[in-house]
Structure 1
């Protein structure tokens, strides 16, 4: 299913695995990868058999950001550089708002645009050796690929300023504490764990999952009335779906529900923060 130069794309029983495949360059984003990402996104978006997507990097790194060597190969005017970034935003909103669960499996470095791409995911799973960096300030640039929109909504405005303006490296454990990372795994267990995580959504209603994600992504900049209207519209569609009718009929007949989140702990336990107690968390 792949057919790409810089990406690997396969579908395993309802889960699409999309891998950055430039390991010698730490999966840096060159012009070919820039062009192929929206094509791959359209494939997983339009494939009705795909219920969830796992984004990962080949060769021990997620993505080291823009390929500076390729970017500096040809001088550009300010207008050309603006248009180059503008072209990213022709498809990035579709990737952020993909109406399917998106899981990023981050091993090694997620720097610059790689960090930004990880932020587009609904859930970030990381290896214990992963590291994150909004590296742009080191070369006199502003964060791009939607990081200015996404990061403050995850960590808060003040923390986003600190991470972006310092351009410091954030290790995996701190990224988990900041709420960027959902759970941590050993490097050799990460991708399998991400696939298992994605497989949990196979029995969920694709309509309900897609609409929930779509509305949540708008919830930070709409007022209560607008969100209520979206809620009413979405619930009407879901109540009219075959999935909902069959789930209710099964429940009334005493059958187990098809989509129940497993209770086992994800990955190794999170570190206990100062002043926190483990009481009542058994």
Structure 2
């Protein structure tokens, strides 16, 4: 396991970059050092041709308890508070904004406030049965500051999102899955193996097609169907000319596992 920066552990296994938040004594609440290292880990994985999938999780019993109030409490001026969010907290969201590789979250424990927002940024989320998720902000008189009001309604619908944000109530892994916030829930000890199995299966797939699927899905949010079909046709024409596509067709005909080398 390699240290990519303060309070982050980073390793690559079978095409999967595993990013582990490592402040277990603070339930992985983030400070500036953790945020900078988290964004750097995403950028490192994005640039590494050997990495096909990213997997984010937390050490100990927490996934991410949001902002470390011990540090944030010292930020008192209005412009400083805004800069703390824009320059530090939002660095992770910016690193993910154009990431085309799959990004999976294994939510092993509490994901609260901005910690829940960070989890929502993943393409696919798995959760431990004992984990608790909460928007939390309203309980300390705040509003979602890390994209929660943008992402949560897209996932659960506006009505349920407002209820979760207005009450700040905690939901467990089973309810998170029932609401569609997470794809599945697992006993805590089985969570990371299940997430790794999924990540490795994606890493073994055709990387160019997988990244293009993510890109098409994202851009569809702002496209008409007509525009999307034009875009999809152009992408498909390019994909069909790749070695990955030829290999997939050959493997299908030969009834064998494909061997992809696309970057």
Q: Report the TM-score range of the alignment, normalised by the length of the smaller protein.
A: over 0.9
Alignment of 1:51 with 2:23, yes or no, is no
Q: Distance in 2 between matches of 1:104 and 1:26?
A: 16
| Secondary structure in 2 matching 1:62 | strand
> Quick check: 1:102–1:123 contact (8 Å CA) kept in 2?
yes
CA distance, structure 1, for counterparts of residue 15 and residue 52 of structure 2: 5
In structure 1, C-alpha distance between the alignment counterparts of 2:189 and 2:98, rounded to whole Å: 30
Classify the secondary structure of the residue corresponding to 2:64. coil
- Distance in 2 separating the partners of 1:250 and 1:192: 28
Aligned to 2:19, the other structure's residue is in SS state strand
| Aligned-partner Cα distance in 2 for 1:31–1:115 | 18
Report if the CA contact (8 A) 1:96-1:120 is conserved: no
Whole-angstrom CA distance in 1 between matches of 2:39 and 2:230: 31
Unpaired stretches in structure 2, ≥5 consecutive residues: none
Task: Tell me if structure 1 keeps the 8 A contact 2:4–2:41.
Answer: no
d(CA) in 2 for partners of 1:220, 1:241: 27
| 1:166 matched residue in structure 2 | 167
CA distance in 2: counterparts of 1:194 and 1:96, whole angstroms: 22
1-structure distance, mates of 2:118, 2:210: 21
Partners of 2:134 and 2:210 lie apart in 1 by: 30
Q: Is the 8 A contact 2:27 2:62 kept in 1?
A: yes
Please list the CA deviations of residues 176-210 of structure 1 after superposition, one character each: whole Å capped at 9, or x if unmatched.
Answer: 00001111111112112111111101221111111
**Displacement of 1:94:** 3.7
Structure 1 segments of 4+ aligned residues over 6 angstroms from their partners:
none
Shift, 1:225, TM fit: 2.5
Answer whether contact 1:27 1:58 (CA < 8 A) is retained.
Answer: yes
Provide, for residues 227-250 of structure 1, a one-character-per-residue CA deviation record: whole Å limited to 9, x for no partner. Answer: 123212221221111000121123
Q: 1:80 corresponds to which residue? A: 80
Aligned length in residues: 257
> Aligned pair in 2 of structure 1 residues 22, 132: CA closer, same or farther (>3 Å)?
same
Alpha-carbon contact 1:127-1:190 (below 8 Å) kept: yes
More helix by share: 2
For residues 127 and 232 of structure 2, what CA distance do their matches in structure 1 show? Answer: 32
Q: Identify the residue that residue 43 of structure 2 maps to in structure 1.
A: 42
Name 1:5's counterpart in structure 2. Answer: 6
Q: CA RMSD in A?
A: 1.7
Give the whole-Å Cα distance in 1 for the aligned partners of 2:128 and 2:115.
15
- Do 1:96 and 1:121's aligned partners in 2 also have CA atoms closer than 8 Å? no
Matches within 5 A, 1:1-282: 1-76=2-77, 78-87=78-87, 88-89=89-90, 92-252=93-253, 254-256=254-256, 258=258
Q: Distance between the aligned counterparts of 2:91 and 2:171, measured in 1?
A: 29
Structure 1 residue 91 displacement after superposition: 5.0
8 Å contact from structure 2 (residues 62, 109) kept in 1: yes
- Shift of residue 170 of structure 1? 1.1
Q: After superposition, what is the alpha-carbon deviation per residue over 1:22-75, rounded to whole angstroms, capped at 9, x for unaligned?
A: 011110011111221211111010011111111000011101001111101232
Q: CA shift at 1:215, angstroms?
A: 1.7
Deviation at 1:96, TM superposition (A): 4.5
Unaligned 5+ segments in structure 1 are: 260-282
Contact 2:35 2:91 in 1 (8 A): no
Contact 1:97 1:213 survives alignment (8 Å)? no
Greater CA drift, 110-119 or 233-242: 233-242
